[in-house]
């Protein structure tokens, strides 16, 4: 990874203008710089979205719950960490961790985990695994299809295939196809779009993200400030409250 300073570019460009008064040379230098900057920005944006999550998940995997009350409360370490329990936990067959039963949405053969926005919505609306049954999957599916930006999916190749089958679906295939729809928009392996319960609308994965600390969807230009523990606007600007800068963009 490399970072080119404005001073270096400025000096190089001015030197080029003085030595070679050709516009094409100057243009080429700036074009190279913009390409480098764009790659740097893309890498840092992706890192900003995933670094906190990967560090968090790595830490969570080292600790297991030992519940005796069925993991039905947020006091359960695994439940609180927004993940399911496994055989290494001490809860046993009485486990009611709702994150162990996401096959209700994603299908029995799926290994999907829920998108962070979907996770927070589930935690807010469901207390136990049994509570998942109270969510009407067809109504949820219809709600997503009726959202304002749903037409944006018309250019998505995966959705085109899904929609083509949906238009001629047999009754006995309907549920499994709805679950595929949920895997596309509600799972952590979502396509270029995901459904934002915060905004009741579609969101673009490259332009929006869900802050798991503030528990709300944010614009890509926002970042979570560890100084004041709130999201701040402007990835290249210091936090408006505590003036701390996003470390991912500290090269500006």
pLDDT 10s digits, 11-28: 444 444 444 455 556 556
Same domain, 76 and 127: no
- Greatest Cα pair distance, the chain, in angstroms, is 78
Alpha helix stretches (DSSP H) within 167-227: 174-185
- What is the enclosing helix (H) or strand (E) of 38? helix 23-60
CA-based end-to-end distance of the chain:
15
Would you say the pTM of this structure is higher than 0.85? no
- The two structure tokens encoding residue 208: 């929006």
Beta bridge partners of 210: 217
- Which pLDDT does position 18 carry in this prediction? 46
- The mean predicted confidence, pLDDT, of the chain is 77
Radius of gyration of the chain (CA): 23
66 vs 1, more confident:
66
- The two structure tokens encoding residue 81: 């960490």
Q: How far apart are CA 40 and CA 18, in angstroms?
A: 29
Same domain, 95 and 108: no
SS3 of residue 127 by DSSP: coil
Same domain, 149 and 127: yes
- Which pLDDT does position 246 carry in this prediction? 52
Same domain, 177 and 207: yes
171: Cβ contacts below 8 Å, ≥ 6 apart = none
Same domain, 109 and 205: yes
Same domain, 91 and 156: no
Structural domain boundaries enclosing 86: 63-100
Cβ burial of 164 (10 Å; 0-12, 13-18, 19+) is exposed
- The two structure tokens encoding residue 112: 């999907």
- Which pLDDT does position 12 carry in this prediction? 46
What is the domain count for the chain?
4
Mean pLDDT (whole number) for 55-63: 51
- Which pLDDT does position 130 carry in this prediction? 86
Q: How far apart are CA 190 and CA 24, in angstroms?
A: 43
- CB count within 10 Å of CB 124 equals 10
Same domain, 178 and 115: yes
- Which pLDDT does position 34 carry in this prediction? 53
Residue 1 placed within a domain: no
Q: Which residues of 144-160 are buried (b: 16+ CB within 10 A; e: fewer)?
A: beeeeebeebeeeeebe
């Amino acid at each position: 990874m490399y970072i080119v300073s404005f001073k270096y570019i400025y000096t190089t460009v001015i030197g080029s203008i003085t030595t070679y008064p050709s516009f094409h040379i100057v243009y080429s230098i700036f074009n190279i710089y913009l390409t480098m900057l764009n790659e740097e920005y893309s890498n840092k944006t992706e890192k900003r979205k995933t670094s906190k999550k990967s560090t968090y998940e790595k830490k969570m995997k080292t600790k297991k719950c030992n519940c005796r009350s069925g993991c039905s409360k947020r006091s359960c370490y695994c439940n609180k960490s927004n993940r399911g329990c496994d055989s290494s936990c001490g809860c046993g067959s009485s486990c009611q961790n709702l994150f162990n039963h996401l096959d209700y949405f994603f299908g029995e053969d799926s290994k999907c985990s829920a998108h962070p926005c979907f996770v927070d919505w589930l935690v807010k609306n469901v207390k136990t695994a049994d509570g998942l049954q109270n969510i009407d999957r067809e109504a949820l599916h219809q709600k997503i299809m009726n959202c304002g930006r749903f037409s944006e999916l018309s250019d998505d190749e995966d959705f085109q295939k899904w929609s083509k089958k949906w238009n001629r679906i047999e009754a006995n295939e309907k549920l499994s196809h709805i679950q595929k729809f949920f895997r596309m928009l509600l799972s952590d392996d979502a396509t270029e779009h995901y459904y934002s319960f915060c905004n009741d609308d579609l969101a673009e994965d490259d332009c929006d993200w869900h802050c798991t600390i503030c528990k709300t969807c944010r614009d890509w230009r926002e970042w979570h400030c560890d100084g004041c523990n709130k999201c701040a606007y402007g990835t290249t600007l210091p936090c408006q409250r505590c003036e701390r800068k996003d470390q991912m963009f500290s090269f500006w």
